[in-house]
Each structure stands twice: as C-alpha cells, then as structure tokens.
Amino acid sequence: MRLFVGLPLPEAAVELLEEMQTGLDIGRLVPPENLHVTIAFLDEQPGFMAQAVHSGLAALNEPAFEIRFEGVEVKGRGRVKLAWARVAGPLELSALRDAVRAVARGAGVDLPKERFRPHVTLARFGARGADPDRLAPWLARVAGLYAGPFTMDRFCLYQSTLTEQGPIYEELADYRLG
C-alpha cells in the first residue's frame, strides 16, 4: 500500500484554501478532503511495515503547535507542474517530521534524504504543465496569502490510491499531538 503521514487541516484552513483555488480554471484542483500538509511520504509498503509504522507513530508524544500560510508558490521549469500554499511552522513541525521519519526508518522504510518544504498542494497541472502566463492573474490575486494561525493537534497515517481522476486518500490511523 502507498502510504504517507500528514497533518489534516482544520475546517477554517480548508475553507480559506478553497477560496484561494477560486479562479484557477486550469489544472486539477486538489479537492477539499485531500488538502493536508505532508510530513513524510513513505511510498509503497507491505502491510506488516504499515503496522510497524502505526505502532511507532502511536507511541510518539509530540506537542501541538500552530502553522500559518505564507504565500503561494508554483513549481516547474518553464511550465508549471504544481501550485501550493507555503506553510510556516514552528520548530515543533520540524521535530514532528524528524520523529515520524525516525519511526518509519525504525520500521524498515527506506526514506530518501530531502529538504523539508512544508506546503499544501492546491493544484496539479499534469505532465505537460501549465503556461505561467495563464496562471499570472490567479497568482497575482493570491500572492499576498498570509493566514493563521491554525492549531495542529493531530496527525494521520494515510493510504493513497492513485486513480485517473486523481489520488484518493484514506485515513488509516489518527494520532493526537499535545
């Protein structure tokens, strides 16, 4: 199963991000139920590893914290592949990520070394990408995004099933922070 650990967003944050998506008439918008902050992508794992990860995550005792949205960014060279809301979080967010990655590694998950850039993906533009000029009016409207704080008091283990209509995320387990 394809797994990741993420922060589900409070309703107020989801409503704000849905408003941010308004006017973005190209690409595939991430549906409200899929908006989250990815802490660690665990990729394809057998069931026994998922259970080992779950056991380790359940034992964590990390504090609750607040995040803010600070701007919108796009990713892609020449043509844009993704648009996301940048997440500013305290040291507790990085500490949670480090703890989750340590649990996953302890369960035998091979994780690549990567820079942590917390964000919420708002839209995907497919393999061909989007013309940056077509995105310019929307980007100008949302460029000043600064919102929050939003309290993060839980994190989840998710299964991601890829479909032609986009991924479907299923919450497998919920863990409290604080």
CATH code for the domain in which residue 41 is found: 3.90.1140.10
Counted domains in the chain: 1
pLDDT in tens, 73-107: 998 878 899 999 999 988 999 999 999 999 999 99
The pTM is what? Answer: 0.92
| Pairing of β 2-8 and β 36-44 | antiparallel
Separation of alpha carbons 27 and 18, rounded Å: 15
- CA-nearest of 22, 36, 134, 120 to 71 is 120
**Domain ranges, residue 118:** 2-176
pLDDT in tens, 114-151: 899 999 999 999 878 888 888 999 999 998 889 999 99
The H or E element containing residue 157 is: strand 154-161
Separation of alpha carbons 14 and 95, rounded Å: 24
pLDDT tier, 51 (very low <50, low <70, confident <90, very high otherwise):
very high
Q: Is the model's pLDDT at 4 over the cut of 80?
A: yes
Structure tokens belonging to residue 25:
């008439």
